[in-house]
Structure 1
Amino acid sequence: MKNFLWKGLCLGLLFVSCSKDHSDWKTEAQNPEFLHRSVKQVTDVIVHDIFSPPVASRIYTYMSVAGYEAAIHQDKKFVTFAGQLTGLQPLPQPNPNEEYCYPLASVQAMLKVGRTLVFSEDKMDEFYAKLMQEYKDTGMPDDVFDRSVAFGIAVADHVVAWSSKDNYKQSRSFPKYSILDDPATWKPTPPAYMDAVEPHWNKIRPFAIDSASQFKPKPPTAFSVDKTSQFFKEAQEIRDLGANLSEEQREIASFWDCNPFVMNVKGHVMFATKKISPGGHWMNITHVACSSSKADFVHSAEAYARVAISLVDGFISCWDEKYRSKLIRPETYINQYIDENWVPLLQTPPFPEYSSGHSVISGASSVTLTKLFGDNFAFVDSTELEFGLTRRTFPSFAKACEEAALSRMYGGIHYRPACENGLAQGRAVGAYIVQKIKTRKEDLAEAN
């Protein structure tokens, strides 16, 4: 049904006449804002549909790979992901004797894949129709428009078929996580006491890493309720830190919260607040970097795709560890063994503690962005403005990811080892992907 409705919308656009005849349509159509707005639209729908962080990373990756694969025909120095990403076979190719608008094909591919993987198709359709009209309004010839849309659809269909074999659909019917009697293990946390999120995410097919367990971090500190033990000390640190937070530390914790589903309790009323996911935050940092560096359309498509791949494999690696160690959250431990009245600043997410997901994916993303934009790329992160928070300024991606990791301690939702070891885990994932996956011919030649 999704494909039928989408094709109907695409065909309808083919009959829309151009409202102006720009002689420089090729320049207008190259504007990377078309791409940035498309990514932002998918982010907005992901927030609206309340996808968990791992699932959101999957959506970002498939749509960004599709956008990249259609865009690279604009610039011959870029190479395909086919044969590099697990299971991705050679994609449809344009007719070399015909003219295309590859940026149009790129957003077409990206939006169609995004629409296939989200719930709110109507929100995607409304945005799609508006964006396609803007492309028509550049004065692009009808045959180029039609041909480019058709090519984008072919790329999208190929990527959707690839996505269908990653075990995601099968995992929807896997059993829920069973609560264990072991006092060291995770238990649902207040206020909603939700089920554990994605306990079988390590069964999802990796994209660039060899397996979910390839970057297994060192084990967490051994559980103990002995007040002289290291584990008790780590929990005490979080309790004391949470009880004495500075205004700056509170701001940092809130800025990197990125909890897509926060339950609020007001008396007898409970309601949810929707926020951007950790992956969505780093995809927006990618937008900031592209815009600040004036990256063109293809370079921007490359950045989104590479960051998305680091996100999705980072989550696969992290979730593999979460459901191996199944470690108890600070809130549960502190309330039971240290201070029954203590409440963390941030709401505890519904999955085991170790390692820290935000630390892992921030480490992986920062390595990828540093490779693309340099070691000392200063930027202003305005991601959280629309959620009522402030901007934050960073001298580098490395410093941003370090703050993101530390924020989980300030928020009271992770012990120190989960943040520090998670950051190392993510950086290892990112470094591996940077070395293994090539997007430019010069890098491919050098590797060979």
Structure 2
Amino acid sequence: MNSTNKFLVLIASFLIITSCEKQYEPIKVTANNFHNSVNRVIDVMIHDIFSPPVASRVFAYPNIAAYEIIAQNDENYNSLSGQINTLGNIPKPKNEDQINYQLAAFMTHLDLSKKLIFSEEKLDVYQDSLYSLWETANPIEFEEAKAYASDVTGYISNWMDKDNYNQTRTMPKYTVNSSEDWRWQPTPPSYMDGLEPHWNKIRPFVLDSASQFKPIPPPEFSMDKNSKFYKELREVYEITNEMIQIGDESEEVQIAKFWDCNPYVSVNRGHLMFAVKKITPGAHWILITQIACKNTDSDVNKSIYAYTKSSIGIADAFISCWDEKYRSNLVRPETLINKYFDDEWKPILQTPPFPEYTSGHSVVSGSAATVLTDVFGENFTFLDDSELRYGLPIRTYNSFKQASEEAAISRMYGGIHYRAAVEEGIGQGNKVGDLVVERLNMVN
């Protein structure tokens, strides 16, 4: 065979081989894919009845992992390595030019979320339906992203496991001391133990320590009618009685119910007791983050950034708040009103099972609103439809701050907090949020 014929044979062989190779389009991960994944995780968290502090941890780690991946390949975002406590550099992909970073971020977020919940199988169906489509669409890119996601999941899991959470699972329960009126006591109808009394031992993300923004002490306990404490107790009693007389049409009742966010409400029907499950306060603010992302048509990277920054603010707010709750250990209004004013009185909302001061909703809302204002700007008008699933109408806010202030005052309207816990709490939350904004240089 002469050289010309050999060349023609080689060309023909090359054409045959290349014609047999399938050309794959890159896998497209959208912001809606990420939003839907977040919603699925929230649904499972509601089913599994995660407490508000624990739920904040479930949000934070998967978001941070996803963010760290997109920051590897988007010059608009800076890694959080060295910016949040003890976080180092995540692994680099073996083939940097071949990785679909958004796909890997999505996979890592879902993998870590599954590690942090109980009912993993409820996410498996969702995961399998998406992955089968993506794997068929581009098997090479899919496997590359999956392998890298596994490396990052392992790294973040190791970092996560050193935050003292596992150790707090074996620490003793809160011991009730009912010998003095000012001390917190379990409340009806379930009289549950004090929730997460050791949460201040969890490693924070940005805070130097759980007590960094220790608020002033609550008003000194006194049943003297001229004391500040007594006046605040009486205020709760009188406001809620007025609301009860007006009924559900009362704006204050609507506000209280909209921001209830109690993941476990015990309901008695004769001899039957059952639980009504709802989102946590942190989940409510994660959904507000989602609303803001959709309103601004934020792409997947901007959405991951917003979720990450808000979830860090929420998580550290819970650590800060719980540190004070079990320090001041203050009694709830329901206990004192039943003892001194009216033994048949019930709050508008069910009293949650932990000490009163400061208000968790207030601290978390103050922090989340401060962070979201930094991400999306002031005077950000939005419609909050987070509570539609519970039959509550959409509410409109002209800013995140306005929403946070309403969330805070809702706790007094609900009959479960005094005014000091609300006002000091939102100030405490604002300080946490300000620190997150000041310390984290995430955007170029």
Give CA-to-partner distance per residue, 1:67-103, whole Å, 9 cap, x none: 1112223412211111111111110112455322212
Contact 2:289 2:372 in 1 (8 A): yes
Structure 1 residue 105 corresponds to structure 2 residue 108: no
Query: Deviation of residue 172 (structure 1)?
Result: 0.5
Asked if 1:292 corresponds to 2:295, the answer is yes
Q: Does 1:198 align with 2:196?
A: yes
Match of 1:323 among 326, 342, 361: 326
Work out which of the residue numbers 188, 212, 215 in structure 2 matches 1:214.
Answer: 212
Q: Does 1:52 pair with 2:51?
A: yes
Distance in 2 (alpha carbons) for counterparts of 1:427 and 1:367 = 6
Q: Provide the rounded CA distance (Å) in 2 between the counterparts of 1:275 and 1:354.
A: 23
> Which sections of structure 1, spanning at least 5 residues, go unmatched?
1-20, 443-448
Which deviations, in whole Å up to 9, do the C-alpha atoms of 1:382-404 show, x marking residues without a partner?
11111221111100000000000
Mapping 1:25-424, distance limit 5 Å: 25-26=26-27, 29-95=28-94, 97-136=96-135, 139=137, 141-180=138-177, 181-245=179-243, 247-424=250-427
TM (normalized to structure 2)?
0.92
Say which SS state the counterpart of residue 383 (structure 1) adopts. coil
Distance 1:220 1:134, change over 3 A: farther
Query: CA offsets per residue over residues 213-248 of structure 1, 9 Å max, x none?
Result: 000111101001112211111011000110112521
> Tell me, what secondary structure is at the counterpart of 1:244?
helix
Give, as a single letter, the amino acid of the residue that structure 2 aligns with 1:131.
Answer: L
Q: Distance in 1 between matches of 2:306 and 2:39?
A: 14
Separation (CA, whole Å) in 1 of partners of 2:54 and 2:385: 24
Return 5+ residue gaps in structure 2 as ranges: 1-21
Q: Which amino acid aligns with 1:166?
A: D
Partners of 1:22 and 1:414 in 2: how far apart?
62
| Separation in 1, partners of 2:338, 2:201 | 33
Which residue of structure 2 lines up, in the alignment, with residue 434 of structure 1? 437
Distance 1:264 1:399 in 2: 31
Cα-to-partner distance string for 1:260-292 (whole Å, 9 max, x where unaligned): 000001111111010000000000000000000
Q: Which runs of 4+ in 1 moved over 6 A?
A: none
In 2: Cα distance, 1:64 partner to 1:97 partner = 21
Name the larger-Rg structure.
2
For the residues of structure 1 that align with 2:67 and 2:134, how far apart are their CA atoms? 18
Distance 1:312 1:178 in 2: 25
> What percent of counterpart residues are identical?
47
One-letter code aligned to 1:193: Y
Which letter does structure 2 place at the counterpart of 1:127?
Answer: Y
Separation in 2, partners of 1:404, 1:99: 46
**Mean Cα deviation higher: 218-227 or 184-193:** 218-227
CA distance in 1 between counterparts of 2:355 and 2:45 reads: 23
